[in-house]
Amino acid sequence: MSVLSGKKVLLGVSAGIAAYKTAHLVRQFIKAGAEVQVVQTPASKEFITPLTLSTLSKNPVHSTFYHEEDENAVWNNHVDLGLWADIMLIAPATANTLAKMTNGVCDNLLLATYLSAKCPVYFAPAMDLDMYQHPSTKTSIQKLTEFGHIFIPATSGELASGLVGEGRLAEPEDIVAFIEKDSLSKLPLKGKKVLITAGPTYEAIDPVRFIGNHSSGKMGFELAKAAANLGAEVILITGPSYQQISHSLVKRIDVISADDMYHACHDHYKTVDVAVCSAAVADYKPAHVADQKIKKKDASLQIELVPTKDILASLGVEKKHQLLVGFALETDNEEENAKGKIERKNLDFIVLNSLRDKGAGFAKDTNKITIIDKDFSIQKFDTKSKPDVAKDILTVIIQKLHV
Ligand code: CTP
């Protein structure tokens, strides 16, 4: 999955012949899973029509401060547009647009939107050889990089004028790859390795039966997705679950029992920076697993249970540099029980769910959590969707990794 998936990309098109390439550029962003809006200078409509760009982006194209054709003209809010974007790209950026951006000139909607954007701004110039070489263009590019904007250099080749040299707009595939790589390198969990446990465990009674629980694995899978979207390399160790995940940064390891999960966790724990144990691990397992299916009899059946290993507590014992996070599902005396688990299992913080809260519990799409730190400070969160809960938990993890 691309790092641009779900990102809001605002493409600013200025008036150069390379504007024809923006049709392909929009397609590339859409293919990467981004949502695209286009703002173009009025003159650029001579090179590429708004109809082409609105059809490909599936959004209306903006080019004037208000919709002239309407009887009651509607204001095109450049501030909203600028704030909407996660990423703004100006491509092609002509010498004229670069100079205006540098000097805060604001005589078209693209420039007003640029001045309102709070997100990372990329600019990909395209112009003729002599214009690209001109000291004023070089000064504009330097100034814009000093503003913190990201320069995507023009490439060399045959130019529309017939001259050969630097000034061609970088190819759309290369522009998108450049932005993907740059975005990835800025993600807060880039370079970090995160182990996550998820789902239930099944403890065999005989070849056909087991003791399990109702955990769906949803919370752990959402955590894995969110951590990978923030740039982490994720090892997801999951008990039996129907959840699916496909992300190039997630390695899924399927296990069945608490013992399997224990060994898989210890195989990887030394190499990770963070471990989050969200699995609902069985606390007991049958003392003996019958070799053959246990046959029905009239008498009652006793199954002797013995404790499983507490995976999280064992990771707490081994803990060196790792940030260790546990979950606690409680029905009563919630905060006191959770604090006890922080101490017993040597955790950095614990995510508490109370089954008394309506939006929390197994197999639900929402969760309501309280985060208790090892210094016992408490943060309470509203009922949220599990993807949003995962983001909240990772925000706390990122804060702790960076202090
Ligand atoms: N946990 C674990 N291995 C176990 C049992 C629990 O790693 N054998 C982890 C869970 O993944 C969770 C935390 O320990 O992060 C707390 O689990 P929970 O079931 O709430 O607590 P227990 O320690 O099992 O205590 P109790 O069942 O008495 O509440």
Asked whether 322 and 274 are in contact (CB, 8 A), the reply is yes
One of 59, 77, 96, 213 is an active-site residue; which one? Answer: 213
Verify whether ligand 1 is closer than 6 Å to residue 327 (CB atom).
yes
> Best mutation site among 277, 329, 336, 362 for ligand 1, i.e. most ligand atoms within 8 A of its Cβ?
277
Verify whether ligand 1 is closer than 6 Å to residue 266 (CB atom).
no
Per-residue H/E/C for 132-193:
HHCHHHHHHHHHHHHCCCEECCCEEEECCCCCEEEEECCCHHHHHHHHHHHHHHCCCCCCCE
Question: Domain-by-domain residue ranges, the chain?
Answer: 8-185, 193-401
SS3 301: coil
Q: Are strands 369-373 and 366-367 parallel, antiparallel or unpaired?
A: unpaired
Per residue in 164-187, pLDDT (tens digit) is 999 999 999 999 999 999 999 999
Q: Which atom of ligand 1 sits closest to the CA of residue 341?
A: 23
Asked whether 281 and 308 are in contact (CB, 8 A), the reply is yes
> CA 352 to CA 142: how far, in whole Å?
50
Per residue in 2-41, pLDDT (tens digit) is 889 999 999 999 999 999 999 999 999 999 999 999 999 9
In a 10 Å sphere around its CB, with 0-12 CB exposed, 13-18 middle and 19+ buried, how is residue 26 labelled?
buried
Verify whether ligand 1 is closer than 6 Å to residue 350 (CB atom).
no
> CA 185 to CA 206: how far, in whole Å?
49
Verify whether ligand 1 is closer than 6 Å to residue 175 (CB atom).
no
Verify whether ligand 1 is closer than 6 Å to residue 351 (CB atom).
no
Q: Tell me the one-letter amino acid at 8.
A: K
Per residue in 315-352, pLDDT (tens digit) is 999 999 999 999 999 989 999 999 999 999 999 999 99
> Best mutation site among 195, 259, 327 for ligand 1, i.e. most ligand atoms within 8 A of its Cβ?
327
SS3 367: strand
Kindly state the tokens that stand for 331: 């029905």
How many angstroms does the Cα of residue 128 sit away from the middle of ligand 1? Answer: 66
The answer on pLDDT for 403 being more than 70 is no
Is the CATH number of domain 8-185 3.40.50.1950?
yes
- What is the pLDDT confidence band of residue 89, given thresholds at 50, 70 and 90? very high
Verify whether ligand 1 is closer than 6 Å to residue 329 (CB atom).
yes
Residue nearest to atom 21 of ligand 1 (CA): 328
Would you give the DSSP letter of residue 1?
-
> Best mutation site among 215, 238, 278, 311 for ligand 1, i.e. most ligand atoms within 8 A of its Cβ?
311
How many angstroms does the Cα of residue 310 sit away from the middle of ligand 1? Answer: 7
- The rounded mean pLDDT for the chain is 94
Kindly state the tokens that stand for 344: 């017993």
- So what CATH class is 193-401? alpha beta
> CA 311 to CA 308: how far, in whole Å?
9
Verify whether ligand 1 is closer than 6 Å to residue 326 (CB atom).
yes
Q: What pTM was estimated for this model as a whole?
A: 0.82
Q: What pLDDT was estimated at residue 274?
A: 98
Kindly state the tokens that stand for 235: 């090892």
Q: Provide the angle, in degrees to the nearest 10, between the axes of the packed helices 386-401 and 218-229.
A: 50
- What is the pLDDT confidence band of residue 71, given thresholds at 50, 70 and 90? low
Per residue in 257-301, pLDDT (tens digit) is 999 999 999 999 999 999 999 999 999 999 999 999 999 999 999
**Catalytic residue status for 96:** no
